[in-house]
Amino acid sequence: MKVTVVGGGKMGLPLACVFASRGAEVTVCDVDSAKVASINAGVCPFEEPGVDELLAEGVKKGVLKATTDTASAIAQSEVVVVIVPVMLSDAREADLTIIDQVAEIASRSLKPGSMISFETTLPVGGTRRLGGIIDKGGLRAGVDYDLVFSPERVKSLYVLAHLFKNPKIVGGITPASAARAEEFYSKYLGAPVINVGSLEAAELVKLAGMIYRDVNIALANELALFAERMGLDFEPIRAAANTDGESNLLLPGIGVGGHCTPVYPYFLINEARTRGIPVELAELARKINVSQPRKVLDKIGNVKGKKCIVLGVSFRPQVKESAYSPAFTLVTELNQRGAEVTVHDPLYTDEEIRKLGLEPGEIEGNEIIVLNTAHDAYRDLDFARLAKAGLRCVVDGRNLWDPDEVSKHGISYVGVGRVPRW
């Protein structure tokens, strides 16, 4: 089985490695020539547990290679899997530029009898639209080739574990296309496969999961604020509520970041608006979570002229990814309020932080610390020393620290759903 995976990033490359390990002959396509060279050398270009070994083995056996020539790879393949970025435009619309380019290439390269599976999360109806682009090349989806949607359902640092454990969702433009996808993923991925029938059903599976998460976090943020105003610490309440087998409240926090939760709800919200379908809860959840960084900062009052540092650029602990991180909103808000703001993250160099448009700084010597990311490196800060160096307030955006341990050094403590210690 000759398979092309278009997109050699943190989601695409592990998938390609698994296909190769299960007997496929795989070509990874990417526009980044340095990444392609690294893959061909058998060296994983990023950190993801277990992928480096699978990659080295696949390259050594000659069943895995990479190229920048996407058209040629597609033309030689029986199955094409597309997993390239679709993010948000400034207007919070799905930016389909890259994936449309891939569909255009496929329209000129896809051979009759092949299958193309889109794994990038898309608005409902997005795969059928891409099929329309491919069809301009003369082949007809569902007749001359199989068009499939199968959303990725993994996350950084856990990609291989999730690939093997999480059921693979598939849907096709025809029942035969969906059945072919089910057979392919069963054999070359080895995970359980759930065939939901249509392209649109498979697309909605992914969006529904993301919106559930966004709504859940928004609910946790509201309950945390209520508890805080009532003089209650929310965390033991949340934990107790989750013991009845009916509740699964997620953690409140200073904001939601990442490639998924802050992005994909808009795919459904925008489509619903176009069609006149009310999705008020999804819209409200986005509004609550977008405003969360500002609401948390409101608790500390006037920061004008004060030295402040935001801890963590990453949107998730121990992961060097900054997409839609609340850190950017926090820095903007603090700057607008007149604070002198710097940023620290143990995973980034000062140069990398500057390239993100932020100013790097040292933890010691600030009056205010705002925790954005619960990196392990921040777990055991010396608050006694920091207090002597001028620290007066801690905004614990991830409830990482013991409030009493912080406040005993004369530092004001503000958390999320925790009673402040002044």
Token code pair at residue 241: 């509520």
pLDDT in tens, 119-145: 999 999 999 999 999 999 999 999 999
d(CA 422, CA 412): 4
**Structural domain includes residue 163:** yes
- 98 and 30 in a single domain? The answer is yes
**Structural domain includes residue 198:** no
Full residue range of the structural domain in which residue 381 is found: 297-414
Rounded mean pLDDT of 235-250? 97
Residue type, 136: K
For 259-407, where are the alpha helices, taking DSSP H only?
A: 264-275, 280-298, 326-336, 350-355, 383-388, 403-407
pLDDT in tens, 149-162: 999 999 999 999 99
**199 burial level (CB within 10 Å; 0-12, 13-18, 19+):** buried
**Structural domain includes residue 161:** yes
Return the C-alpha torsion angle 138, 180, 51, 121, nearest 10.
Answer: 60
- 167 and 18 in a single domain? The answer is yes
* pLDDT recorded at residue 404: 95
Domain of residue 280, CATH code: 1.10.1040.10
**Structural domain includes residue 231:** yes
Statement: residue 38 has pLDDT above 90: yes
Q: How confident is the model at residue 99 (pLDDT cuts 50, 70, 90)?
A: very high
* pLDDT recorded at residue 64: 98
Q: How confident is the model at residue 109 (pLDDT cuts 50, 70, 90)?
A: very high
d(CA 343, CA 358): 7
pLDDT in tens, 363-378: 999 999 999 999 999 9
d(CA 44, CA 315): 22
What integer best gives the mean pLDDT of the chain? 97
Starting at the edge strand found earlier in the chain, the sheet holding 168-172 runs 64-67, 25-29, 2-6, 79-82, 115-118, 146-149, 168-172, 193-198
Report the b/e string of 272-292 with b at 16+ CB within 10 A: beeeeeebeebbebbebbeeb
- 224 and 144 in a single domain? The answer is no
- 303 and 406 in a single domain? The answer is yes
- 233 and 369 in a single domain? The answer is no
Q: How confident is the model at residue 218 (pLDDT cuts 50, 70, 90)?
A: very high
d(CA 368, CA 364): 10
* H or E stretch at 200: helix 199-229
**Structural domain includes residue 199:** no
- 180 and 64 in a single domain? The answer is yes
- 310 and 407 in a single domain? The answer is yes
Last residue of a domain, one of 158, 191, 224: 191
Statement: residue 24 has pLDDT above 90: yes
* pLDDT recorded at residue 408: 96
Query: In this prediction, what percent of the chain has a pLDDT beyond 90?
Result: 99
Look at the chain and report how many structural domains it folds into.
3
Token code pair at residue 420: 């402040």
- 3-state class (DSSP) for residue 172: strand
Q: What share of the chain is helix, strand, coil (3-state, %, to 5)?
A: 45, 15, 40
- 356 and 311 in a single domain? The answer is yes
- 287 and 302 in a single domain? The answer is no
- 358 and 243 in a single domain? The answer is no
Question: Which residue in 115, 102, 112, 103 sits closest to 181, CA to CA?
Answer: 115
Last residue of a domain, one of 244, 268, 291: 291
**Structural domain includes residue 226:** yes
Last residue of a domain, one of 145, 160, 191: 191
**Structural domain includes residue 197:** no
Statement: residue 56 has pLDDT above 90: yes
**Structural domain includes residue 18:** yes
Residue type, 309: I
Strand 87-88 vs strand 94-95: parallel, antiparallel, or unpaired? antiparallel
- 351 and 252 in a single domain? The answer is no
Token code pair at residue 74: 């597609």
Residue type, 248: N
Domain of residue 19, CATH code: 3.40.50.720
Query: Strand ranges (DSSP E) for 122-268?
Result: 146-149, 168-172, 193-198
Statement: residue 422 has pLDDT above 90: no
- 3-state class (DSSP) for residue 130: helix
- 20 and 148 in a single domain? The answer is yes
Question: Which residue in 375, 377, 415, 412 sits closest to 391, CA to CA?
Answer: 412
